[in-house]
């Protein structure tokens, strides 16, 4: 137990290679689909091909007669024990919320909804028999697209009487955080600048690499569910709340989970059906979706129409921002559902000093796959809107996009700063991040090249895009969530177990699925407790091991879960001090703790934390007034969000004859406070960037007029490949603006890249062709759309986005819903 001597001086800030990797690079993995239990049965789902239909009959006889089929069940075979899929965030008291059965017996509301389940001895036999289930439907008219839904001519759920679910409003004048928006806009119309734009956030699919999978074992005293989920604790609560099984009889395990990006932040119909079937048959069951099922029925993300008005004075100083969103929830209001656009409500004003702000969000129901969180959740939409608008304002004023931002942003000496949306930004330094990003990017040289190419009339034009983003993350202060009517808190829990041999077990309520918590949390404990990095074992993702937790999403694990861990470690040290004082026969006041050891000041006497752990195991010698343990746990509820920010710069080349776009360079300088592991942070940034870039250039989930998903496989839904992307220039400021509301000074980084990159890329594409009279190209900026924008402009027409590549949005003109050309 002298290993403390071998410990590096400091773990935090070190680019430790990940503890997780050994098993992942050798194939010794425990994905849910790898789990096989004795007598386990396999399920296959029968899904509706119609977006909206009444189920008139289900004939299961042929399927039941198939070899090795054990059961074929539909919605009418179950009662309340099937439970319901919950919406945990009704955004207004009068929100219209359709009932959401995991397997409806009467009516389906989107294509891909489950109407029956086949249970067989093998997965292949279950799938074969699912083909034999004969379902009769009476097709109903389906509503697809936001604009059509708003007319209420066709209803997604006829019994609700409307497709409009909820209207959520924030107004700075009413809230007392700012002045009146309408007055400011009126002033700007006569004596300033008003920029009015409609932007489209296309529908996206999270597309985690591991398809969702669930195993339920009803044998034993507790019913155990393994699921490819981000949220084992929330699942356990929701199962108890909706299926009548006591929470104490439920164990949920998230084993190795292959990515989530918000897509596995859900209480899914598939999980609830597996739960009910296992209980009904008293046998373990497994369900693993195909990729096609995943794209069709796992929740989608984004899908908003943004109607925006920005007012400024003649010098480009912003005076007001008015935002109206229409957000497509799909067929049901999913777990967080309508809350996702509301998470953006506080971020449209971004880093700028708007005196007046109004935000409205109208959520609508359609007969499409339900939508929910996707990496960034609300904040990428807000950042896209404001960062696109700031470029438009710069063009209007005739100054560099960075100059217009600098005229409006919060200066570093003005922190803490209370924004017009009512948040207190604790720290930030936009000047420093921008200066470093500009230098690393070679901003001035690229601007010079851009001018040279323009002057020369080069066929390939260069565009430079800027995005100076911030976000609110680290979800979240529980009281704030309560004030927004969210159904849970935002705290996190951690415990530290000091084992007899001196090893340390750390239990966290966060649930990693690729983030590297085992490594980063080990570094935190190693430093704080003074034990070797290798001696720390991080346990997570099992509700019987980590009994308390709120899981992983919203860039919360380090900033909330890590802080809980710090507090638990501090309690261990406090308890150990009492024991050390007894064993060393010294006053607690005379003890120093450093490098994992208590020493008596002014002597060479000391005792290591590992020895104290052993002493609590033997129990041979300890003070009378001490409970025989130095283990500790802590629950941390953050007092504020945290506000990472950064400056992202993107150079795009646009071929003006073909519309082809090519990324030339991408530099970002993110200020995320203190960094625990720079290697992991860089990985988070790289991956986030590509997801944001993919929204700008490639990805779009498209439903046709009948509500059928036409981008329902990886052939049609364009995930970027290595050949589509470039290597990135990732920077951080030397002296970061540390978070002032947590001990570690850290800010979230999981979503930053995705939030920042989309507008940087689109700004760059538009910048490349702005001199041709173009001020917008709708996402994804496909070569065809870019080419059409250029052609239209040359023909003297408007710069509306062409309809072909975005069927359910454009009909003749931009920002109208249509499905013309879907799937072509």
Q: Which of 6, 9, 28, 190 binds another protein (CB under 8 A)?
A: 28
State yes or no: residue 698 binds another protein (CB under 8 A): no
Could you tell me the smallest distance in angstroms from the CB atom of residue 256 to another protein? 7
Could you tell me the smallest distance in angstroms from the CB atom of residue 69 to another protein? 17
Residues 241 and 39: their CA atoms lie apart, in Å, by 29
State yes or no: residue 489 binds another protein (CB under 8 A): no
From residue 105, alpha-carbon distances to 46, 57, 93 in Å are 13, 9, 28
State yes or no: residue 33 binds another protein (CB under 8 A): yes
State yes or no: residue 687 binds another protein (CB under 8 A): yes
Count, residues near another protein per rule CB under 8 A: 56
Residues 75 and 82: their CA atoms lie apart, in Å, by 8
State yes or no: residue 466 binds another protein (CB under 8 A): no
Residue 276 tokens, joined? 């009910």
Q: Which among 236, 264, 294 has a CA at the least distance from the CA of 552?
A: 264
State yes or no: residue 208 binds another protein (CB under 8 A): yes
For another protein, which is the closer residue by CB, 212 or 528?
A: 212
Residues 527 and 211: their CA atoms lie apart, in Å, by 37
Q: Which of 723, 735, 812, 824 binds another protein (CB under 8 A)?
A: 723
Q: Which of 29, 67, 248, 618 binds another protein (CB under 8 A)?
A: 29
State yes or no: residue 22 binds another protein (CB under 8 A): yes
State yes or no: residue 25 binds another protein (CB under 8 A): yes
Q: By rule CB under 8 A, what string of x and - marks binding of each residue 429-448 to another protein?
A: --------------------
596, exposed or middle or buried, with CB in 10 Å at 0-12, 13-18, 19+?
A: buried
Could you tell me which stretch among 47-55, 336-344, 722-730, 778-786 binds another protein (CB under 8 A)? 722-730
State yes or no: residue 31 binds another protein (CB under 8 A): yes
State yes or no: residue 714 binds another protein (CB under 8 A): yes
Residues 620 and 593: their CA atoms lie apart, in Å, by 23
Could you tell me the smallest distance in angstroms from the CB atom of residue 478 to another protein? 29
For another protein, which is the closer residue by CB, 18 or 302?
A: 18
Could you tell me the smallest distance in angstroms from the CB atom of residue 388 to another protein? 23
Could you tell me the smallest distance in angstroms from the CB atom of residue 113 to another protein? 20
SS3 of 439, please?
helix
State yes or no: residue 713 binds another protein (CB under 8 A): yes
Could you tell me the smallest distance in angstroms from the CB atom of residue 210 to another protein? 4
- Which parts of 744-763 interact with another protein (CB under 8 A)? 753
What is the β-pairing status of strands 661-671 and 645-655? antiparallel
State yes or no: residue 209 binds another protein (CB under 8 A): yes
Q: Which among 490, 482, 523 has a CA at the least distance from the CA of 506?
A: 523
End-to-end CA distance of the chain: 68
For another protein, which is the closer residue by CB, 260 or 745?
A: 260
Residues 47 and 710: their CA atoms lie apart, in Å, by 16
State yes or no: residue 258 binds another protein (CB under 8 A): yes
Q: Are 576 and 568 in contact (CB under 8 A)?
A: no
Contacts of 181 (CB under 8 A, 6+ apart): 171, 172, 173, 320, 321, 322, 356, 357, 358
Could you tell me the smallest distance in angstroms from the CB atom of residue 65 to another protein? 20
SS3 of 118, please?
strand
Q: Which among 147, 137, 175 has a CA at the least distance from the CA of 50?
A: 137
For another protein, which is the closer residue by CB, 23 or 479?
A: 23
For another protein, which is the closer residue by CB, 121 or 317?
A: 121
From residue 327, alpha-carbon distances to 45, 154, 364, 698, 712 in Å are 29, 17, 6, 21, 22
Q: Which of 14, 164, 280, 291 binds another protein (CB under 8 A)?
A: 291
- Which parts of 503-542 interact with another protein (CB under 8 A)? 513-516
Could you tell me which stretch among 339-347, 443-451, 562-570, 707-715 binds another protein (CB under 8 A)? 707-715
Contacts of 127 (CB under 8 A, 6+ apart): 44, 118
Could you tell me the smallest distance in angstroms from the CB atom of residue 759 to another protein? 17
For another protein, which is the closer residue by CB, 141 or 683?
A: 683
For another protein, which is the closer residue by CB, 692 or 707?
A: 692
Nearest 10 degrees: Cα torsion 114, 118, 124, 130: -60
Could you tell me the smallest distance in angstroms from the CB atom of residue 686 to another protein? 4
State yes or no: residue 26 binds another protein (CB under 8 A): yes
Residue 277 tokens, joined? 């079937």
- Which parts of 321-380 interact with another protein (CB under 8 A)? none
Nearest 10 degrees: Cα torsion 692, 694, 697, 698: -150
State yes or no: residue 824 binds another protein (CB under 8 A): no
State yes or no: residue 680 binds another protein (CB under 8 A): yes
Phi and psi at 328, nearest 5°, equal -90, 115
Q: What Rg value do the Cα atoms of the chain yield, rounded?
A: 28
Could you tell me the smallest distance in angstroms from the CB atom of residue 95 to another protein? 32
Residue with tokens 């981008």: 711
Residue with tokens 């065809």: 784
E-state strands within 350-459: 357-364, 417-418, 424-425
Alpha helices in 169-311 (DSSP H): 172-175, 181-191, 232-243, 269-281, 291-297
User: Which helix (H) or strand (E) element contains residue 470?
Assistant: strand 460-470
Q: Which of 39, 61, 106, 124 binds another protein (CB under 8 A)?
A: 124
For residue 410, give the DSSP letter. P
Q: Which of 68, 219, 307, 725 binds another protein (CB under 8 A)?
A: 725
For another protein, which is the closer residue by CB, 289 or 792?
A: 289
For another protein, which is the closer residue by CB, 389 or 680?
A: 680
Could you tell me which stretch among 25-33, 131-139, 402-410, 594-602 binds another protein (CB under 8 A)? 25-33
Could you tell me the smallest distance in angstroms from the CB atom of residue 687 to another protein? 5
452, exposed or middle or buried, with CB in 10 Å at 0-12, 13-18, 19+?
A: exposed
Could you tell me the smallest distance in angstroms from the CB atom of residue 731 to another protein? 14
State yes or no: residue 405 binds another protein (CB under 8 A): no
State yes or no: residue 40 binds another protein (CB under 8 A): no
State yes or no: residue 211 binds another protein (CB under 8 A): yes
Alpha helices in 369-425 (DSSP H): 379-397, 401-408
For another protein, which is the closer residue by CB, 261 or 443?
A: 261
From residue 141, alpha-carbon distances to 51, 101, 144, 329, 509 in Å are 8, 21, 10, 18, 45
What is the β-pairing status of strands 250-253 and 223-227? parallel
For another protein, which is the closer residue by CB, 141 or 259?
A: 259
State yes or no: residue 596 binds another protein (CB under 8 A): no
What is the β-pairing status of strands 606-608 and 632-636? unpaired
Q: Which of 1, 21, 587, 594 binds another protein (CB under 8 A)?
A: 21
Could you tell me which stretch among 152-160, 286-294, 479-487, 527-535 binds another protein (CB under 8 A)? 286-294
Could you tell me which stretch among 86-94, 656-664, 678-686, 773-781 binds another protein (CB under 8 A)? 678-686
Could you tell me the smallest distance in angstroms from the CB atom of residue 15 to another protein? 8
SS3 of 164, please?
strand
Which residues form the interface with another protein (CB under 8 A)? 17-18, 20-29, 31, 33-34, 122, 124, 207-211, 256-259, 261, 290-292, 513-516, 679-680, 682-683, 686-691, 713-715, 719-723, 725, 727-728, 753
């Amino acid at each position: 137990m002298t290993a403390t001597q071998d410990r590096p001086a400091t773990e935090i800030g070190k680019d430790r290679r990940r503890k997780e990797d050994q098993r992942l690079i050798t194939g010794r993995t425990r994905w849910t689909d790898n789990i096989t239990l004795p007598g386990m049965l396999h399920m296959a789902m029968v899904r509706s091909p119609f977006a909206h239909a009444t189920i008139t009959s289900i004939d299961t006889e042929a399927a039941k007669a198939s070899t090795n089929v054990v059961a074929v069940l539909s919605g009418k075979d179950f009662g309340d024990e099937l439970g319901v899929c919950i919406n945990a965030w009704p955004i207004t008291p009068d929100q219209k919320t359709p009932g959401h059965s995991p397997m409806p017996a009467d009516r389906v509301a989107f294509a891909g909804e489950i109407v029956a389940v086949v249970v067989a001895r093998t997965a292949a036999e279950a799938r074969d028999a699912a083909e034999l289930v004969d379902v009769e439907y009476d097709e109903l008219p389906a509503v697809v697209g936001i604009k059509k839904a708003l007319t209420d001519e066709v209803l997604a759920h006829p019994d609700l009487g409307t497709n409009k679910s909820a209207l959520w409003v924030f107004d700075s004048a009413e809230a007392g955080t700012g002045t009146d928006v309408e007055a400011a806009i009126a002033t700007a119309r006569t004596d300033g600048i008003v920029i009015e734009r409609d932007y489209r956030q296309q529908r996206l699919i999270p597309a985690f690499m591991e398809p969702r999978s669930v195993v339920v074992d009803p044998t034993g005293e507790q019913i155990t569910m393994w699921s490819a989920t981000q949220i084992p604790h929330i699942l356990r609560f929701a199962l108890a709340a909706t299926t009548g099984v006591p929470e104490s009889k439920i164990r949920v395990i998230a084993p190795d989970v292959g990515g989530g990006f918000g897509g596995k932040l859900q209480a899914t119909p598939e999980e609830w059906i597996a739960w009910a079937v296992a209980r009904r048959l008293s046998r373990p069951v497994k369900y693993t979706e195909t990729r096609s099922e995943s794209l069709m029925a796992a929740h989608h993300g984004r899908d908003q129409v943004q109607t925006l008005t920005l007012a400024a004075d003649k010098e480009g100083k912003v005076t007001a921002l008015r935002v109206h969103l229409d957000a497509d929830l799909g067929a049901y209001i999913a777990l967080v559902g309508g809350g996702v656009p509301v998470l953006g409500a506080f971020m449209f004003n971004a880093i700028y000093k708007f005196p007046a702000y109004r935000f409205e969000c109208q959520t609508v129901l359609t007969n499409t796959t339900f939508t929910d969180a996707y990496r960034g959740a609300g904040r990428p939409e807000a950042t896209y809107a404001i960062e696109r608008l700031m470029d438009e304002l710069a063009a209007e004023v005739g100054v560099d996009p960075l100059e217009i931002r600098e005229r409006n942003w919060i200066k570093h000496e003005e922190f803490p700063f209370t924004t017009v949306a009512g948040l207190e930004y604790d720290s930030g330094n936009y000047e420093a991040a921008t200066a470093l990003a500009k230098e690393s990017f070679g901003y001035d040289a690229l601007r010079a090249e851009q001018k040279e190419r323009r002057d020369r009339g080069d066929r390939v034009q260069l565009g430079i895009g800027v995005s100076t983003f911030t976000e609110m993350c680290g979800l979240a202060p529980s009281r704030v969530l309560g004030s927004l009517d969210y159904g849970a808190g935002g705290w996190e829990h951690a415990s530290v177990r000091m084992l007899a041999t001196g090893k340390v077990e750390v239990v966290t309520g966060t649930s990693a699925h690729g983030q590297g918590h085992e490594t980063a949390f080990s570094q935190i404990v190693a430093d704080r407790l003074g034990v070797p990095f290798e001696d720390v074992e991080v346990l997570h993702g099992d509700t019987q091991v980590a009994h308390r937790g709120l899981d992983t999403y919203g860039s919360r694990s380090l900033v909330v879960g890590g802080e809980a861990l710090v507090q638990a470690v501090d309690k261990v040290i406090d308890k150990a001090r009492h024991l050390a004082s007894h064993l060393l026969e010294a006053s607690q006041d005379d003890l120093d703790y450093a490098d994992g050891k208590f020493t008596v000041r002014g002597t060479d006497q000391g005792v290591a934390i590992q020895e104290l752990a052993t002493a609590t195991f033997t129990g041979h010698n300890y003070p009378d007034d001490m409970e025989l343990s130095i283990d500790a746990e802590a629950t941390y509820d953050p007092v504020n969000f945290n506000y990472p920010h950064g400056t992202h710069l993107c150079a795009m080349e646009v071929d003006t004859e073909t519309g082809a776009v090519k990324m030339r360079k991408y530099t970002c300088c993110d200020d995320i406070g203190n960094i625990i592991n720079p290697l992991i942070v860089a990985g988070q940034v790289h991956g986030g960037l590509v997801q944001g870039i993919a929204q700008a250039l490639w990805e779009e989930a498209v439903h046709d007029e009948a509500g059928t998903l036409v981008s329902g496989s990886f052939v049609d839904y364009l995930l970027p490949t290595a050949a589509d992307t470039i290597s990135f220039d990732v920077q951080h400021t030397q002296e970061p603006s540390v978070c002032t509301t947590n001990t570690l000074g850290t800010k979230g980084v999981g979503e930053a890249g995705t939030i920042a990159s989309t507008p940087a890329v689109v700004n760059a594409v538009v910048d490349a062709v702005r001199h041709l009279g173009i001020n917008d190209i709708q996402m994804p900026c496909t070569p065809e759309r870019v080419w059409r924008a250029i052609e239209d402009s040359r023909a003297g027409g408007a710069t509306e986005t062409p309809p072909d590549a975005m069927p359910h949005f454009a009909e003749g003109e931009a920002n109208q819903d249509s499905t013309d050309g879907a799937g072509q």
